[in-house]
Structure 1
Amino acid sequence: MTANRSEPTDEAKRIMAVAHRLADAARVQTLSLFRSPLLRPDNKSATGFDPVTEADRASERAMRAILATERPEDAILGEEYGVQNGRSGLTWILDPIDGTRAFMAGAPSWGVLIGVSDAQGPIYGIVDQPHLDERFEGGLGRARLISGRGTVRLRSRRGVALEQATLMTTYPEVGHPGEQAAFLRVASRARLVRYGLDCYAYALLAAGHVDLVIEAGLQPYDVAAPIAVVQAAGGVVSDWHGGPAHGGGTILAAGSPELHTEALALLKGD
């Protein structure tokens, strides 16, 4: 799927304006605790380590408060506060901090994810990195990076075969053992493999710096916004079977259809 370059409709402009307000509000909450000695992470898991911080919670609360006023008919799915039903057919999918472990470590590879989906999947998304002042926006006729250095068009990299590709994933241990074996079939062929950037890897793919992102074990709030941004930039996104990825689970994002086809065949074991 490629981006629609036509002029956004009035409704699209309203959606985008609200999304930017959400990103601005989340920046205030997240930056107030990033690299702060006041940060006190909690653990959401009884069996492992699944961190959450007050910055996560405050970021989502701030975004939900805006939606309650500006888009009360829309549904919401957020990582920290769950589902709120709506009547419009649109759902705002929020990850108030994607990459909480990076946030805890003071690494600027986390991001705020704001996606908008209809019944078919994501139609618009923002991947915002507040500390770097970088906002990646895609869908509804937009594909751009807005930063303190100006605004540039997002365009994924084309003409790259797997042997020349840069591949990124968050964790070296990708999914269960079968999924890890599938990932390694692709990774062993790529020129460069890097780890640990969470949502920022998708932003780099949309900007033409990374060629592949392959992950497993994801939730809808992890992927909705990145899918919209990557597709708007000309990239291709699916699960590891070639189907839609917006429900979570596995994801394969590629800068071009040709590279996507090559990587997908290896993931499937064809």
Structure 2
Amino acid sequence: MASKRVGLYDNNVAVAFLWPLKWLFGTVLLYVLLALIALAVAFLFAKYQWADPVTASDALFQAESARVARLLQSGAHAEGFASLPLVAQRWTYWLFFQATTLHDATYAYIAGQRVNEVDQMYLTQFVARNVREIYLAMNVIQVYGIRIGFLMASVPLFMLLYFVATADGLTERYIRRACAGRESADIHKLGRLSKLMFFASAVTVYLCTPVAISPFWVIVPLAAIFAVATRLQWQFYKKYF
């Protein structure tokens, strides 16, 4: 019996210390998976939608970069907001291209630099045959990073909305409880699940669609849906527990 308790205690301690690593691994995995989906969608656009994929991807990247530049020029109050997209862009580009040496190899091939025989084989067999696709992927990955940064910058807004909507929803719950209002577990579940559904779909479309989209048209509707869904979630939380 004592050994079972010790084993259970050890398992609980392991879970308590390892859960941050579990969440970190899951976040990184989702981050890489969404980037790969963005690249796959961009290659589909390049094949079926864009007449000149290199020019189209470059125009997309320039449009997203110009949006960040306008934020930086608008005043000191926007510098903190605009710095996150820049940091996320550089980090994402480093992870997918600089850490994998694709950046150096591509620019070495374009500049015609002299390299050793092993690198020359790599340049001629892979980079030379796919230089347009690599350049397209470079632009798309940087757009993906910028959009990740915009979403990260909007986290304080969603946290504020969550606390306000929770307070309002719990107030309505106590009024409903005092007045013997109806119990509705279905609305509670609807409010909780709708946040996940709308967030997953809207964020995936925003991050993975190679079309110039202002973050305003993504964050503002999501914020409204998030606030309403959170209020319903707590308003119709079970009256007695």
TM tier, smaller: under 0.3
> What is the TM-score normalised by the length of structure 2?
0.24
Greater percentage in helix? 2
> What is the TM-score normalised by the length of structure 1?
0.22
Higher relative contact order (CA 8 A, sep 6+): 2
Q: In terms of Rg, which structure is larger? A: 2
Greater percentage in strand? 1
